[in-house]
């Protein structure tokens, strides 16, 4: 069942940028698509969570958990907003390079916190995944490196890392369906309040793109958080590195974009690195449990 949730999150997250790209080619503005996508996702997530789980998705009774859910929504909105701003200043490939470092950052933080047991083979697998993703990109020259765009990309990575670690902790007390429903709702409210005033037009192409990207975003978030609860933030983050090769493959079929030898090699590296982390087909694809305090004290 864990693999099913991971694949659902990966597929939904992979189709979303393809629909967005089709929207951009039809003249849809970034701010229009962002606001529309967040609004549709906030509306679509509720029937998705109710249909799939049937659990009560009201806000948690604990004030601490309510603050945690709201903070998760603010972090997700911050990450999305920073990414949107970065895309207006630097090429998409630069943003992808930055986002690729997120799983490694999450793994490093969890390793320091004692939440994950990681060895040399795991880190070699992460390095292979990151290298493979980079090989699939066409990086621009130095003239395209806008400092504000780079800063926004780095800030988006940090925000995304904090978001994943925060929700990883929160979902030990709150069901993923509840977290996903309210996180997407908070993000939708933030998008309307902050970016809504900048929307100048909303043509038919923007409506269609918003509907589909919003639905895919809601599906991806629900599946991503459920998978995170099952295997932890580190491994689900690394699994999402398969998104780039999958997008390339789907784009080659749907958009008729040719694949070069570097993209084939990069895709192979990502798959090999994924297997090296022992995540996909091993019994170790489970959330690592930190040693109890007594074991730590006696091991010194």
What does each of the 300 residues of the chain score in pLDDT, given as a tens digit? 666 766 777 777 667 766 777 787 788 887 888 899 999 999 999 988 877 556 677 888 899 999 999 999 999 989 888 887 887 777 766 777 677 778 778 877 887 777 766 677 777 877 787 787 777 666 555 555 678 888 888 899 899 999 999 998 899 899 888 999 999 999 999 999 988 898 888 888 889 989 998 998 898 888 888 888 877 777 777 777 776 676 666 666 665 656 677 777 877 787 777 777 654 444 444 444 443 333 332 223
Task: Look at residue 55 in the predicted model and tell me its pLDDT.
Answer: 66
Q: Please state, in angstroms and rounded to a whole number, the distance separating the CA atoms of residues 14 and 6.
A: 12
Specify the pLDDT at position 257.
59
In sequence order, the 6+-apart residues with CB closer than 8 A to the CB of 180 are 45, 49, 221, 222, 225
CA dihedral 50, 55, 57, 62 (to 10 degrees): -170
The alpha carbon torsion through 88, 96, 11, 274 (nearest 10 deg) reads -170
- What is the pLDDT at residue 68? 94
Structure tokens at 7: 């694949």
The Cα-based distances of 57 to 40, 144, 199, 261, 299 in angstroms read 18, 45, 31, 47, 43
DSSP string for residues in 34-57: HHHHHHHHHHHHHHHHHHHH----
**pLDDT of amino acid 287:** 45
Closest CA to 167 of 236, 98, 244: 236
Whole-angstrom Cα Rg for the chain: 19
- Give residue 282's pLDDT: 46
Nearest to 72 by CA among 216, 195, 174: 174
- What was the pLDDT predicted at 70? 94
What is the pTM (predicted TM-score) of this model? 0.75
- pLDDT value at position 285? 42
């Amino acid at each position: 069942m864990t693999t099913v949730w991971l694949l659902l999150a990966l597929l939904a997250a992979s189709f979303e940028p393809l629909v967005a790209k089709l929207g951009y080619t039809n003249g849809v503005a970034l701010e229009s698509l962002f606001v529309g996508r967040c609004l549709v996702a906030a509306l679509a997530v509720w029937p998705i969570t109710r249909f799939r789980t049937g659990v009560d998705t009201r806000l948690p009774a604990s004030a601490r958990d309510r603050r945690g859910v709201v903070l998760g929504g603010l972090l997700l909105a911050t990450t999305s907003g920073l990414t949107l701003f970065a895309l207006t200043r630097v090429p998409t490939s630069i943003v992808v390079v930055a986002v690729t470092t997120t799983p490694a950052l999450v793994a490093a933080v969890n390793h320091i916190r004692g939440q994950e047991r990681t060895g040399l083979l795991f880190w070699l697998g992460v390095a292979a995944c990151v290298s493979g993703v980079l090989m699939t990109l066409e990086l621009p020259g130095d003239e395209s490196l806008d400092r504000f765009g780079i800063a926004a990309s780095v800030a988006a990575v940090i925000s995304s890392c904090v978001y994943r670690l925060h929700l990883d902790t929160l979902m030990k007390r709150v069901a993923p369906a509840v977290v996903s429903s309210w996180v997407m709702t908070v993000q939708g409210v933030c998008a309307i309040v902050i970016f809504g005033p900048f929307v100048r037009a909303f043509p038919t192409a923007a409506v269609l793109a918003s509907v589909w990207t919003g639905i895919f975003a809601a599906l991806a978030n629900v599946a991503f958080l459920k998978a995170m609860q099952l295997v932890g933030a580190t491994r689900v983050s690394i699994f999402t590195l398969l998104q780039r090769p999958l997008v390339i493959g789907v784009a080659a079929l749907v958009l008729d974009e040719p694949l070069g030898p570097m993209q084939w090699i990069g895709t192979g590296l990502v798959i090999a690195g994924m297997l090296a982390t022992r995540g996909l087909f091993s019994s170790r694809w489970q959330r690592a449990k930190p040693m109890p305090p007594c074991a730590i004290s006696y091991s010194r």
